[in-house]
Homo-oligomer: A and B are copies of this chain.
């Protein structure tokens, strides 16, 4: 089975990093719980929204993301049983490309370069499963889709959902 796995908010904690950077910069106390159901940048005052949206353009942002809980251990097992590819819509942020490659070298070194994809549209991927936090990626994928739960998508309906990596293991191992 060929399985494609998104990076941001599925294996790398982008959302948490946005909150951490925002809280530090503005001495605030935003939390994941407060953000539930929303994009993080919508949860800050209008005059600070662009600052949050620009985090992703800062050098180092993607390189320093924390892995999502249990992603590494479950992906290692998935990779023994299936053909696993990491597929990130990273081309939007050219500064992220090498950082994402380095991040994978550090945190998921068992996924070789041949199985890493930095792309835009994901409907050009040919395989069996796509795990992603964005419904617009899942909608057009020709295969089984798993919506990985992230604060911004908790109100999204109509997709098979994995709330965490242990649930992914239950479904695919």
Contact = CB atoms under 8 A, between A and B. Distances in A.
A37 interface: no
Nearest to A118: B118
A142 B126 CA distance: 9
A94 B101 CA distance: 6
Question: Chain A binding site: helix, strand, loop or mixed by DSSP?
Answer: mixed
A101 B2 CA distance: 27
Contacts of A127: 124
A123 interface: yes
B126 A113 contact: no
Q: What is the oligomeric copy number? A: 2
Contacts of A119: 116-119
A120 interface: yes
A91 interface: yes
B124 A85 contact: yes
Interface string A86-127: 000101101101100110000000001111111111011111
Contacts of A123: 126
Interface of A: 2, 4, 85, 89, 91-92, 94-95, 97-98, 101-102, 112-121, 123-127, 142
Contacts of A101: 91, 94, 97
A118 B120 contact: no
Given A114-B120, A117-B124, 14 more contacts: A91-B101, A91-B116, A91-B118, A94-B97, A97-B97, A97-B98, A97-B101, A112-B120, A114-B121, A115-B120, A118-B118, A119-B119, A124-B125, A124-B126
A94 B98 contact: yes
Contacts of A118: 91, 97, 117-119
